[in-house]
Amino acid sequence: MENRKIIIFDTTLRDGEQSPGASMNIEEKLLMAEQLQRLNVDVIEAGFAASSPGDFESVNRVAQKIKGPTIASLARAVKGDIEQAGEALKPAERKRIHTFIATSPIHVEKKLRMAYDQVIDQAVDAVKLAKNYTDDIEFSPEDATRSNRDYLCRILEAVIKNGATTVNIPDTVGYTAPQEYYELIKYLMNNVPNIDKAIISLHCHDDLGMAVANSLSGVLAGAGQVECTINGIGERAGNASLEEVVMAIKTRKDFFKVYTDVDAKEIYRASRLLTKLTGLVVQRNKAIVGENAFAHEAGIHQDGMIKERMTYEIMKPEDIGLSESRLVLGKHSGRRGLGKRLSELGFDLSPEELSHVFEKFKVLADKKKEVYDEDIIALMDEEVSPSPDVYSLESLQVISGTTTMPTATVVLRKGEERIKDAASGNGPVEAIYETLERITGLKGKLSSYRIKAVTEGKDALGEVSIRVKFPDIKRDISGRGIAVDIIEASAKAYINALNKALVYKKSE
Ligand code: KIV
Ligand code: ZN
């Protein structure tokens, strides 16, 4: 029997983005959507159009821009939500309305306070209304895994009869376990009379750390779609992680006997981009995209790896677009060499863009003897800016020591203008941040500051990730900066957050 295709429905921009610390502005969502397009996911859930004007606009802009994947918007099973989703999705080449209503006793009785038959009627009305906008309709009985199975069968039969083409079975609170979810999917397959007219979808949360296992179990039971997010971000403990689901299916195709159309070589880039845009750092030992996922430390493992790679490695770093850390270029390398390596790493630049990156590369190669792939990817991360920067760093001088009051002098560029100021602080980073606040007039409260080396060695690039709370802006703003000098990286991270804050101020 030929392997079945599993539809990959990415909800990074909806379920992922609605979780604390993961919010992105419209430009950032568009950048992420473009990467999801490169990843070749089948469906991008771009947002929840009715939830705010900003969400409406991002669904609409993604629908305008992204070709290939189906674009979906979430909508409660209410008239206004369906209409907004339909409107926002209008420009999409392929569109899907994803409507939901809760079905578990606790939700129906305590939250909705509705009769069970009324819930079915509302779901059916929503599906019928959605049909005016598209034929591609997904229905989710929220909290399905804590719902009565026979009631689930009734509501699914009704929505399919009225036009739902995908029925999603959400484990909304991450409560189920692999065997139980498998049995639930089988039960629905055997007891919903018209189930053959719809695709069964899986949507698992990770509260008990079983989201990926549950999803794969649902695949084994016969479901045709998996809903997941990059880096597993999402409500509370997150959703099933796309990279884990995809690589499990790919690596164990002998067992799962299914495939996806995802271009796994774009996984690493997608993971990094999301981290850059949200500031949510992936844990070191995270499967597939964590820093240690392909690192072998123990001598016995290293010995095995040298003799035969497959002794300790079931996937290759190249499979997810992570080349082995290779010494690529040095200060004598030319623009063509850099261009060639960038294109091997998946970055296709115009001659002007290449010239710009080459200038930065030369500055880096002067400071650092050996330039690795990771350094080049870090340089490119800096290039990907969702909106033009208002401020950029021109120069920085810091005086610090155990017996001096740390003082920073900073020169920022704002268009043609050069603005210089100085301030002191308890440490060099505080002195810089005080100076930046004096220059820009934007006062922020630093809620987190992390620093890590991009590669090994004393001359490694330092990467600083911060989160800042600015007054009048609801969400925390993330910022990242990369430089050989960690003080400079700290300054760049704060300037990055300031530039983003200015965009948010305009849109809020
Ligand atoms: O977790 C959930 O139940 C959801 C639904 C809206 C599909 O995200
Ligand atoms: Zn969810």
Contact 226, 245 (CB under 8 A): yes
How far is residue 229 from each of residues 212, 290, 314, measured CA to CA in Å?
11, 15, 23
SS3 74: strand
- What is 4-278's CATH number, 3.40.718.10, 1.25.40.10, 3.20.20.70, 3.40.50.300? 3.20.20.70
> Which pair of structure tokens corresponds to residue 321?
């677009």
Residue 406 Cα to chain centre, angstroms: 38
One-letter amino acid at 337 equals G
CB atoms within 10 A of CB 186: 15
Pairing state between β 407-414 and 392-399: antiparallel
Asked whether 142 lines ligand 1 (CB < 6 A), one says yes
Residue 264 phi/psi, 5° resolution? Answer: -60, -25
Contact 231, 280 (CB under 8 A): yes
How far is residue 277 from each of residues 26, 137, 384, 489, measured CA to CA in Å?
11, 30, 10, 16
Residue 9 phi/psi, 5° resolution? Answer: -105, 110
Q: Residue 189 Cα, ligand 2 centroid: separation in angstroms?
A: 22
Q: pLDDT tens for residues 127-160?
A: 999 999 999 999 999 999 999 999 999 999 999 9
Mutate to test the pocket of ligand 1, among 73, 81, 106, 140 (most ligand atoms within 8 A of CB): 140
Rounded to whole angstroms, the Cα distance separating 451 from 482 reads: 10
Pairing state between β 225-228 and 7-10: parallel
> What is the pLDDT at residue 493?
92
* Residue 251 C-beta-side C-alpha neighbours within 13 Å: 16
Residue position matching structure tokens 């099973």: 77
Q: Residue 426 Cα, ligand 2 centroid: separation in angstroms?
A: 44
Q: Domain-by-domain residue ranges, the chain?
A: 4-278, 294-320, 325-383, 392-507
Estimate the share of the chain in helix, then strand, then coil, as percent rounded to the nearest 5. 45, 20, 35
Contact 443, 459 (CB under 8 A): no
Rounded to whole angstroms, the Cα distance separating 166 from 197 reads: 9
Residues 6+ apart with CB under 8 A from 20: none
Which stretches in the chain have pLDDT values below 70?
Answer: 1, 296-306, 324-328, 369, 382-387, 505-508
For the domain 392-507, what is the CATH code? 3.30.160.270
SS3 232: helix
Q: Residue 227 Cα, ligand 2 centroid: separation in angstroms?
A: 9
> What is the pLDDT at residue 387?
64
> Which pair of structure tokens corresponds to residue 263?
């271009």
Mutate to test the pocket of ligand 1, among 14, 81, 98, 142 (most ligand atoms within 8 A of CB): 142
> What is the pLDDT at residue 77?
98
DSSP letters, 46-66, are EE-GGG-HHHHHHHHHHHHH-
Q: Residue 40 Cα, ligand 1 centroid: separation in angstroms?
A: 23
Pairing state between β 7-10 and 43-47: parallel
List beta partners, residue 204: 171
> What is the pLDDT at residue 302?
61
> Which pair of structure tokens corresponds to residue 266?
């774009």
Contact 100, 71 (CB under 8 A): no
Helix (H) / strand (E) element for 287: namely: none
Mutate to test the pocket of ligand 1, among 203, 214, 225, 236 (most ligand atoms within 8 A of CB): 203
Helices marked H in 192-334 = 211-221, 242-251, 253-256, 267-278, 299-307
